Structure 1
Amino acid sequence: MDTEAVRSFVRAAELGQLRHAADELGVTQQAVSKRIAALERALDVRLFTRTARGVELTLDGQAFLWHARNIVADVDRAVAAIRRGSRALRIDVLGLRSAQAVVLHDYWRSHPEMELDVVTLKVDDPRLAVAAVQAGDVDASFRSVTDPATLPREVRMIHAFHSPLELVVGPRHPLAPARAVTPARLRGHRIWVPGIAPGSEWADFYEQLTAAFDLRVDATGPNFGNEVLLDILADSDDVATLVGSRDRYVWPAGHDLRRIPIVRPTLAYPLSLLLPRENPHPGLRAVVGHFATLAPLPEDTWLPSWATGPRGDDDRDTAHASRP
């Protein structure tokens, strides 16, 4: 069914004249007449009778009008849902318990009037996230491309914020009593991070981290999810893992897990935001500005070689710019 024909029918019924409907829709009266005639043929009914004053609904037309209005309203809502700038700001995060989601939620709580759609693309290859931004499937993605030179011209990457790492251990682990640990104290301990995807940004991160501090990061075994990982940590006296300080984790009280800050230096994961180079969603500007309000990290923070400085290569206010 031609939705524009349905729209023409609705406006003609409400205004009582084809000419007025045509003026409002920005088409000729002949075009409106043809659309309605085609709709009548498709429905095999007469919707209007023509009078000297314009058009009047038939009984079938009256029965169809309520449904036709709903069709037009549904189409308008569907278009608005996907049109950049008029629909909700759609941002991809690595997970709904991740630091990115937590920071976005904190911002939304202070700005509940904002229409925000938080999604997870569930892809490991950052090139797929770039493609999603390029295609307009998402307005921005919390992903890092470790070689920015490979980004297509239509997509840019800006620094979002850094996520300090914490050590998570069970109550029987030798480091469980510590209030803080240094990277040096982690040497020799098994740090289990299952499911590190080859070619992902976090694979690059952990490769540099282990090389810099001579750590033992074990990525063996499938990733069965956070719940299974936390269950294993609770019962282990030799396995630990790393999480972001803002990542949200929930476990049974009996697990008695410990989240221990890593200091001297702080180890941080750099989080970047991929967004269109031109005409980004208007809502991005305020969200990116919120990142600047987050607490700064210590000066001795360690970052991988591909990470930018505290503010990144691009000024934060350029998230709304439309320039090459």
Structure 2
Amino acid sequence: MDTEALRSFVRAAELGQFQHAADELGVTQQAVSKRIAALERELQVRLFTRTPRGVEPTLDGQAFLPHARSIVASVERAVTAVRPGSRALRIDVLGLRSAQAVVLHDYWRSHPEVDLDVVTLRADDPRVAVAAVEAGDVDASFRTVTDPAVLPPDVCMMHAFDSPLELLVGPGHPLASARELRPSQLRKHRIWVPGIAAGSEWAEFYDQLVTHFDLRIDAAGPHFGDEVLLDALADSSDVATLVGARDRYLWPEDHDLRRIPLVNPTLAYPLSLILPRTNPHPGLRGIITHLGNLPRPHGAVWRPSWSATP
């Protein structure tokens, strides 16, 4: 099996576009398409389906992806074993606009000499990320296993930083003019968070948030992407959502969306870093130091019960 075809498949699946994969691999989009077409012929299945925004793995593609990623990682480790130096520090984040990616970008801007590879595993189950760290497919992952007792003995988890939540609303929402809000002021307001995946760390976070503050979290419907969510907020007078203070969102100027801090207490989403217990990538030392120097929320703070942060 052609390892370059496997590498093209993995990067296209992770980046969502053949062109982006081609740019990263230093080849043409046509070359990526031909490699993947040859791989599909060999496997006798379709690996991708086209969408308005690019491509997404089919069910067969999703099933094949972790195995292809493991093969590519094994080949890279084999090459590294006989080549001077080491490969880039590879860290998994939930999304390229997430708080984790923003924090890593800030670190890289002040340390541009660091060879950093930021990837997204596209998995809701944190156990997938744990397995990727354990196998060496990634060097670390910004995921949380809410029961650390289930971690394998050769993998550990540390608190990375807290992500304070903000309310995001359109200009017609009754809370739009507030400069800050207490969680109690959100009661009876519809907070739409589509696509909460069962078994994910954020599903447990929202369950505890609802119970503790008597909030109305609506997870109905699939998540069609940030653009659709932002469009809905701009047009609505009664729908809001929750976002992390460091999460990067972009919307048209005429949407006039408002980000409102939540205080007294601050609602903090605790982010963790999963990494090998022994012989972690040397580049992680600088990242961990950077995380430790990030500012912490002030005043009263609410965190879920599984957070290890005091």
Scaled to the shorter chain, the TM-score interval is: 0.7 to 0.9
Report the CA distance between 1:186 and its aligned residue.
0.2
Indicate yes or no: 2:208 matched with 1:208: yes
User: 1:228: which partner in 2?
Assistant: 228
The answer (yes or no) to whether the contact 2:161–2:296 under 8 Å persists in 1 is no
Q: Counterpart in 2 of 1:115?
A: 115
- Residue in 1 that maps onto 2:139: 139
C-alpha deviation, 1:298, in angstroms: 1.6
Counterpart of 2:57 in structure 1 is: none
CA displacement, residues 121-180 of structure 1 (integer Å, 9 cap, x when unaligned): 000001111000000000000000000000010110000000000000000000000000
Q: Which residue of 2 aligns with 1:155?
A: 155
Given the superposition, is the C-alpha separation of residues 190 and 83 from structure 1 closer, same or farther in structure 2, using an over 3 Å criterion? farther
CA distance in 2: counterparts of 1:116 and 1:87, whole angstroms = 9
Task: Give 1:211's aligned amino acid.
Answer: T
- Structure 2 CA distance, aligned partners of 1:109 and 1:243? 24
Instruction: Return structure 1 stretches of 4+ with deviation > 2 angstroms.
Output: 75-78, 80-85
Task: Using the TM superposition, give the Cα deviation of residue 294 of structure 1 relative to its aligned residue in structure 2, in angstroms.
Answer: 1.1
- Name stretches of at least 5 consecutive residues in structure 1 with no aligned partner: 1-74, 311-324
- The 5 Å alignment of 1:294-313 reads 294-309=294-309
Q: Deviation string for 1:206-253 (max 9, x for gaps)?
A: 000000000000001000000000000000000000000000000000
| Contact 1:102 1:247 (C-alpha < 8 Å) held by counterparts | yes
**How far apart, in 1, do the equivalents of 2:272 and 2:227 lie?**
27
Question: In structure 2, what is the Cα distance between the partners aligned to 1:304 and 1:82?
Answer: 46
1:91 paired residue number:
91
- How far does residue 79 in structure 1 lie from its aligned partner after superposition? 1.7
Share of identical aligned residues, percent? 73
Instruction: Tell me the secondary structure at the aligned position of residue 165 of structure 1.
Output: strand
- Residue identity matched to 2:253: A
Is the Cα–Cα contact under 8 Å of residues 84 and 281 in structure 1 kept in the other structure? no
Structure 1: distance between partners of 2:166 and 2:84? 37
1:76, distance to aligned residue in structure 2 (A) = 9.2
AA of the residue aligned to 2:86: S
Query: What amino acid sits opposite 2:233 in the alignment?
Result: L
- Three-state SS of the structure 2 residue aligned to 1:184 is helix
Say which one has the larger Rg.
Answer: 1
Query: Aligned in 2, Cα 1:168/1:82: closer, same or farther, shift over 3 Å?
Result: farther
The superposition leaves residues 247-304 of structure 1 with CA deviations (integer Å, 9 ceiling, x where unpaired) of: 0000000000000000000001000000001100000011010012111212411000
Q: Distance in 2 between matches of 1:81 and 1:176?
A: 56
| Alpha-carbon distance in 1 for matches of 2:221, 2:188 | 20
Aligned residues: 236
Aligned to 2:185: 185
Cα RMSD after superposing both structures: 2.0
Kept in 1, the 8 Å contact 2:90–2:119? The answer is yes
Measure, in 1, the Cα distance between the counterparts of 2:163 and 2:116.
22
Contact 1:155 1:274 in 2 (8 A): yes
Q: TM-score of the superposition, structure 1-length normalised? A: 0.70
How much has 1:82 moved relative to structure 2? 11
Secondary structure of 2:203's counterpart equals helix
SS at match of 1:267: strand
SS at match of 1:160: strand
Whole-Å separation in 1 of the counterparts to 2:140 and 2:93: 9
Residues 87, 235 of structure 1: alpha-carbon distance in 2 compared, 3 angstrom cutoff: same
- Tell me: CA distance 1:230–1:142, structure 2 relative to 1, closer, same or farther (3 Å): same
Find the aligned partners of 1:97 and 1:82 in 2 and give their Cα distance. 36
1:215-254 matches, cutoff 5 A:
215-254=215-254
Superposed displacement of residue 83, structure 1: 8.7
Deviation at 1:78, TM superposition (A): 8.0
Residue 80 of structure 1 deviates from its aligned partner by: 3.1
Give 2:80's aligned residue.
80
**Aligned-partner residue type, residue 134 of structure 2:** Q
